[in-house]
Structure 1
């Protein structure tokens, strides 16, 4: 059963998918939206938008966004969430593997994506198809997303994504292969002294090599309390 949650200190209301019908908003969702730094006038695409959380956070900040997802029931939910919050965002059901049908080459200034963290052949997919698509790459591989991003981004356009820590090497190899080198990375750690669980990465289509490593982001401090950096991500600043 779908339910409605208040998110980001009440700034957004979000109808979330029923259990097994899609992933719900989690900390990676919020951190990715906060990490992305669009400029005024940029045309933004979210790949794998699900029920619209990242797209609508960016829309709430004042940026025009198009979200695509292969699962029509999640696109319907994203449209409901846009209406619920009085926000303008375009949501389209599409298969990213057929990216040439989605838009002309170099149509977007920025792409935002939270890719599946696993590949179908390297993991045990969930029996729930919507979860398998979101988590295990049942509908697309990481390479499909990078190839599509290279096609759809303008030269010097930016790709913002969050990826599991142990796949960063694979991600960087693909970004280099598709001439969209990483330019900025911020590792996210559950707490001090623990390995990074995920990393936030910004890459630039046809950019030069040269990587900026930002200070790490800790979810909690040594005592288990949420850090100021995490709390900051849950505050929406319009125009940021």
Structure 2
């Protein structure tokens, strides 16, 4: 797969591979990627999984254009469409309750935490400048079908905050997987899949260790790179 990148605007990380390994859409599912950026997550999912269609919503026009070029480069025009728009004011073409799967790899940090880059594209990718966590969850709830799923990756240190926002919007966690950078290190990321409505029972998956003690990717991480599901 060929993915167009511009380090000054967009450069993908292993987060996209982790979320791709975590989501499990059906062969006829319609999926939307909120904040698609340069399209890597949409491309990975459409390129490695049987799926009905993928829609990527992106607020930054230059990144949306970059994503479209990557889609065309990989011959995935019939599966993936990229939509310019703001998830806080969803475009009219994105109908409510119309997607089987909603996914997101959102900005990790609140706008008032840390040093924000002067580069607008990089700043928006890392910090909640164009949307807050609750904006994302509200949009996901509007778009997902009643029997659909919403999956995302987020910093573990904000896990409690995320649970509160999901509950406020009537989304119930059903699958959770904690990610650890190395053996013996605390979790730094969490994958979480939620569904609309209430219901008992949540599946806590075995944790993923990204690297071994020498800094090399773990066996499990290499299998995820090769397309293995996280289960």
Into which bin does the TM-score normalised by the smaller protein fall? over 0.9
> 1:24-51 CA distances to partner (integer Å, 9 max, x unpaired)?
1111111111111101111100001111
CA shift in 2, pair 1:196/1:102, >3 Å: farther
SS at match of 1:83: helix
Deviates most, 98-107 or 127-136: 98-107
Please list every run of 5 or more consecutive structure 2 residues that lacks an aligned counterpart in the other structure: none
Name segments (4+ residues, structure 1) moved above 4 Å. none
Distance 1:100 1:155 in 2: 20
Asked whether 1:73 is paired with 2:73, we answer: no
| Aligned counterparts, 1:1-240, within 5 A | 12-19=1-8, 21-22=9-10, 24-60=11-47, 61-63=49-51, 64-88=53-77, 89-99=80-90, 101-236=92-227
Contact kept, 8 Å, 2:85 with 2:91, in 1: the verdict is no
> 1:77-119 CA distances to partner (integer Å, 9 max, x unpaired)?
1111011111131001100000263522101010110011012
**What is the CA distance between 1:181 and its match in structure 2?**
1.1
Please list every run of 5 or more consecutive structure 1 residues that lacks an aligned counterpart in the other structure: 1-11
CA shift in 2, pair 1:229/1:109, >3 Å: same
TM-score between both structures, scaled by the size of structure 2: 0.92
TM-score between both structures, scaled by the size of structure 1: 0.89
Distance 1:168 1:27 in 2: 19
**What is the CA distance between 1:156 and its match in structure 2?**
2.0
Q: How many equivalent pairs are there?
A: 225
Distance 1:151 1:113 in 2: 14
